Amino acid sequence: MKVEDKRDFTVVNHSVEKVDALALACGTARFTDDVDIRGLLTGRLLYSPHAHARIRRIDTAKARKVPGVLAVLTHEDLPRVRHTTAGQGYPEPSPYDTLALSEKARYVGDRVAAVAAETPEAAQEALDNIRVDYEVLPAVFDTMEAIKAGAPVIHDEADSKNIPDAKHNICAKFDFEVKQSEWFSEADVVVDRWYKTQWAQHCALEPHIVIVSFDEDGRLLIRTSTQVPFHARRITARVLRLPLKSIRVIKPRIGGGFGSKQEVLLEPVCAALALAARRPVKIELSRRETFVSSRTRHPFVIRLKTGARKDGTITDAHMEAYCDNGAYGAHSLTVMMCSGSHTLPMYQAKNTRFVGRSVYTNRPVGGAYRGFGATQGFFAWESQMDIMAGQLGLDPIEFRRKNYIRSGEGSPVFKAMGEGREGIEQKIGSCGMDECIAKGLAAIRWHEKKKLYKNQSGVKRRGLGCACMMQGSGIPEVDMAAASIKMNEDGSFNLHMGATDLGTGSDTVLAQIAAEVLGVGIKDVIVLSSDTDLTPFDVGAYASSTTFISGNAVKKAALKVREQILAVAARILDEKPEDIELAGGRAVGKSGRSCALSEVGNTSFYYHDQHQIMASASHVATSSPPPFAAHFAEVEVDTETGEVRVLDYAATVDCGTAINPALAEGQNDGAVLNGISYALTEEMLFSPAGAMLNPSFRGYKIFSAADAPPFKTILVPTYEADGPFGAKSVSEIGINGPQPAIANAIYDAVGVRLYEPPFTPEKVLGATLSETSESSLQTAVGRLPATEAAE
């Protein structure tokens, strides 16, 4: 078997220690802030207290006079720059960015000025002395209100004509239909429901932070906690109108991102301050600032109207998705699209329709967040699946089994929703859904408990719920990664990648792939990722792409290096290159003769035909093989308090070959806990004037380790032909399950259907006590003027 197809692994599929484990455990790991820079100034931002207000004038004269203040900037110094698709690729352009400073305040937290000063105190004093003359405007906070005629127009910029429908605050549209029969003509049962997800935030423990200094040649040195160093370089250059070559972006260790660091939030303004002050500047957001003025998960209002035959065949799937972008349109199109493109293909239906709208409101700005629309979509879909099964009188598990997509199948949705690019004729390669369900059912003892909980009475009632889901592995024909490997004379290797480890363990996973090809241990691979001057390009860490796309790039580069090693070893061993294997740090010939890789390294550096063994390679995917997962939740609902407790949770996941099982489990564990927290407690709350009411971990509750219910991740191995050594993605999918699985379990326990997470005691109790079996959401949103597609 060729090394690239091997399945008998030495390093891959083993839970080797993270390459940065020791550093993280010992506290020596260097994050953005772990650097000493002489003369470093503090940068600070001034935020709008109004949700919608015209800025008549900003007076900075007094602020500039504060001792120790070296720079004060407003939108006049650093105006917003329109995104443009030309030459930018991903992350997707949105009509209006908010990467600079705003000329009109569009939400409470919009950035109106920036200062740099010798001390934090002087910076604060400068902020306190900036006088902004605001003309307060009417604001709109509700997604569905914002698209109504007569709603305040949030984007009235001169070039707002480029917005699909600025007058109705519609930032992006995407519709499609695949129709093979009359709509609902074959359905025995039709279910039509509205779902609404909440404002939530990533809560990476390391806040947004950037340090801009100058290198010896005067180039900007941007040390930043980012998922997208190469995009940070490109976008900073564009916002500041500087040549790209005058910027170097360095990504140190990152303390979590989850999508929040996929945007170039602070780099341009920090660089502008450094250039104005001619001194290095650091901006680090507090937790409050992060909540108020960074990025959120997009709340969605989703309508699902679905039909099925009595035998359980799904016939029709109509989905309307209203995605709330907040005040600016970051990731507006793609997040909205993913709510359909990752969910609709899950089950095959004759007729499928998607109507997507991304909507501006005077709220904080939505951005990329683990799950990226699929999470919101699956809450609706997998809730609806249980409702339909109930109406059909079918077992929800069997109903799903009957309909979900299988290996070898395509979906018209893949093509129609190829994310606005050329349609992707994708067919499912690996699919471990059958085993995911079987293992999950067994792990949670589904059937046994179902029987046990059949006729419950009493205050506390238990229930079981499940949810199936899929995600992608990067964006085909869009996401590109490159890697470069050089050999040292001791048989160790430097692996340089644009890929960005934001705490996911991708440095380790990618080093394992290289080590597997090169027949060495993980300690023989010295990883550098990522630095725009030093490492090859990579679109960045998002869309569950790193293992799949960067991993393929690393594998290709390693294969090229391997070939060079074999050529040298062939001479040393007097064998043909094709007869040599690399294993255990040695080149082993067919004859049994072998030599250490250090001999190969030494020979190539110092003896014969001297050369540096080295290669680079790029990879762009032609498919985005979905990982699959089935989640099973067991809950206990206190019918007196409305409290929901998760008693057990089994999260199976098919991520192909787990390159590092422990890390894959860790990724899934994290996603599941994140999802449980998102289902039960997390929600950004706002005052009627649009100010966030709970911008701290005291008010915004994320599940910590202490809060974690018993839960387990079960890896279901498959082998994905397109992935490096069979791997698919794993990082996002796990967050899609808890909301619907828990909602279904609550329904199972107490017969109450919840459409609006988080499932707080108030909501559960309210719904339990309500006289109707449906929430007010159904009637409230149902009264809205139907969109053109909503019949």
Residues that bind its own copies (CB under 8 A): 19-20, 22-23, 28-30, 36-38, 86-89, 214, 216-219, 234, 237, 243-245, 253, 477-478, 480, 482, 484, 486, 488-490, 492, 494, 496, 498, 523-524, 526, 528, 532-534, 536-537, 598-599, 602, 605-607, 609-612, 614-616, 618, 620
Beta bridge partners of 525: 493
Beta bridge partners of 301: 196, 322
Measured from the CB atom, the residue of 493 and 747 that comes closer to its own copies is 493
* Of 281, 284, 271, nearest in space to 236 by CA: 271
Measured from the CB atom, the residue of 386 and 516 that comes closer to its own copies is 516
The helix/strand count (H/E) of the chain reads as 20, 26
How many other CB atoms are found less than 10 A from the CB of residue 406?
A: 10
Measured from the CB atom, the residue of 537 and 719 that comes closer to its own copies is 537
CA atoms within 13 A of residue 407's CA, in its CB half-sphere: 14
Q: What are phi and psi of 462, to 5 degrees?
A: -105, 150
Measured from the CB atom, the residue of 302 and 541 that comes closer to its own copies is 541
Measured from the CB atom, the residue of 549 and 679 that comes closer to its own copies is 549
* Of 208, 259, 250, 211, nearest in space to 229 by CA: 250
* Of 527, 536, 107, 137, nearest in space to 330 by CA: 107
> Please, what is the minimum distance in Å from the beta carbon of residue 174 to its own copies?
21
> Please, what is the minimum distance in Å from the beta carbon of residue 281 to its own copies?
17
Give CA 673 to chain center in angstroms: 15
CA distance 296 to 143: 15
> Please, what is the minimum distance in Å from the beta carbon of residue 38 to its own copies?
6
> Please, what is the minimum distance in Å from the beta carbon of residue 486 to its own copies?
6
> Please, what is the minimum distance in Å from the beta carbon of residue 7 to its own copies?
28
* Of 175, 167, 155, 168, nearest in space to 83 by CA: 155
> Please, what is the minimum distance in Å from the beta carbon of residue 218 to its own copies?
7
Beta bridge partners of 507: none
**Angle CA(24)–CA(26)–CA(29) in degrees, nearest 5?**
45
* Of 519, 514, 494, 507, nearest in space to 554 by CA: 514
Residues contacting residue 592 through CB under 8 Å, at least 6 positions apart: none
> Please, what is the minimum distance in Å from the beta carbon of residue 280 to its own copies?
12
Cis-peptide into 299, omega within 30 deg: no
Measured from the CB atom, the residue of 38 and 57 that comes closer to its own copies is 38
> Please, what is the minimum distance in Å from the beta carbon of residue 616 to its own copies?
5
Residues contacting residue 307 through CB under 8 Å, at least 6 positions apart: 184, 186, 187, 188, 189, 190, 191, 314, 315, 316
Measured from the CB atom, the residue of 216 and 574 that comes closer to its own copies is 216
Measured from the CB atom, the residue of 14 and 219 that comes closer to its own copies is 219
Measured from the CB atom, the residue of 22 and 583 that comes closer to its own copies is 22
Say whether 566 sits in a helix, a strand or coil.
helix
> Please, what is the minimum distance in Å from the beta carbon of residue 10 to its own copies?
19
> Please, what is the minimum distance in Å from the beta carbon of residue 242 to its own copies?
10
Measured from the CB atom, the residue of 297 and 560 that comes closer to its own copies is 560
> Please, what is the minimum distance in Å from the beta carbon of residue 677 to its own copies?
30
> Please, what is the minimum distance in Å from the beta carbon of residue 664 to its own copies?
23
Measured from the CB atom, the residue of 277 and 304 that comes closer to its own copies is 277
* Of 6, 166, 196, nearest in space to 782 by CA: 196
**Quick one: CA torsion of 131, 137, 141, 146, rounded to 10 degrees?**
-140
CA distance 545 to 497: 14
Give CA 503 to chain center in angstroms: 13
> Please, what is the minimum distance in Å from the beta carbon of residue 763 to its own copies?
44
Measured from the CB atom, the residue of 37 and 438 that comes closer to its own copies is 37
- Across 540-622, where does the E strand assignment appear? 581-583, 586-588, 594-596, 614-620
Measured from the CB atom, the residue of 616 and 718 that comes closer to its own copies is 616
> Please, what is the minimum distance in Å from the beta carbon of residue 252 to its own copies?
9
CA distance 192 to 388: 10
Say whether 711 sits in a helix, a strand or coil.
strand
Measured from the CB atom, the residue of 319 and 561 that comes closer to its own copies is 561
Pairing, β 189-196 against β 53-59: unpaired
Measured from the CB atom, the residue of 478 and 752 that comes closer to its own copies is 478
> Please, what is the minimum distance in Å from the beta carbon of residue 25 to its own copies?
11
> Please, what is the minimum distance in Å from the beta carbon of residue 447 to its own copies?
49
Cis-peptide into 677, omega within 30 deg: no
CA distance 260 to 257: 5
Is residue 347 within 8 Å of residue 399, measured between CB atoms?
A: no
Joined tokens for residue 91:
């992350």
Measured from the CB atom, the residue of 196 and 496 that comes closer to its own copies is 496
- Look up residue 150 and give its amino acid: G
The per-residue DSSP string of 429-483 comes to ----HHHHHHHHHHHHTHHHHHHHTTT--SSEEEEEEEEEEE--SS-TTT-EEEE
